[in-house]
Chains A and B, each alone.
Chain A
Amino acid sequence: SQQGEEDPQALSIQEGENATMNCSYKTSINNLQWYRQNSGRGLVHLILIRSNEREKHSGRLRVTLDTSKKSSSLLITASRAADTASYFCATDPNKLVFGAGTILRVKS
């Protein structure tokens, strides 16, 4: 069973716009990670945020974590067509458990 659930299931935006994806989870965590998957490929690690952190940035990515609400959000700013992919959140504490993902399509 999957612990994390991403929202929305699918998102379509224009190039240059920002994209926001949300993740909710059920149990206590040590960290939360976001991964990207291009069609037919493996997952690529984007960013990790620890349970004692509230916000983290990496390039055009901004991740927030609210442990009281058991939720996280991933913001991609100034999106590009190359950002088109599926995005997954993943949580521990024991084995890494992935959600079903958000499919992002960036139209040029």
Chain B
Amino acid sequence: GAGVSQSPRYKVAKRGQDVALRCDPISGHVSLFWYQQALGQGPEFLTYFQNEAQLDKSGLPSDRFFAERPEGSVSTLKIQRTQQEDSAVYLCASSLHRGNEKLFFGSGTQLSVL
């Protein structure tokens, strides 16, 4: 596709509900990143994939967060038993090569947990 696509654009969840956020990176991009952005803050790293391999998940805040990229293209970020503190914008980014130079970002999924 022309850019990184994320869906849904907005998600409202009740506390305790599970959610799944989807990211379609630019075709052919090797690296894929998930970031969490709180209001008024910069993006915080969550996890990094190189093709289908999850090379770094050190930023995932708890074991309720899980990400996968099974075929090395589309990725899903799943949050189980959502809490109010999970409310944020979740950004996905991809880059052509290995590593973190020149990331292309999607518009994000705004998650609100009530």
Q: A residues bordering B, Cβ < 8 Å?
A: 2, 4, 31, 33, 35, 40-45, 48, 88, 92, 94-101
Contacts and interface: CB of A to CB of B under 8 A. Distances in A.
Q: Is the interface of B mostly helix, strand, loop or mixed?
A: loop
A102 B83 CA distance: 29
B56 A95 contact: yes
A26 to B, nearest CB: 14
A45 B59 contact: no
A48 B43 contact: no
Contact of B101 (A31, A40, A43): A31
Contacts, number: 57
B4 A95 contact: no
Contact of B107 (A2, A41, A95): A41
A40 B44 CA distance: 16
5 contacts: A42-B107, A94-B56, A95-B48, A96-B33, A98-B43
Contacts of B59: 95
- Output the residue of B4, B59, B105 with the most chain A CB within 10 A: B105
B105 A96 contact: no
A95 B42 contact: no
Contacts of B41: 2, 100-101
Nearest to B42: A98
A48 B101 CA distance: 8
A35 B59 CA distance: 20
B45 A96 contact: yes
A95 B35 CA distance: 11
A74 to B, nearest CB: 14
- Lowest 7 CB-CB distances: which A-B pairs, in order? A42-B105, A98-B42, A96-B100, A43-B105, A95-B45, A42-B107, A98-B43
Interface string B76-109: 0000000000000001010000011111111110
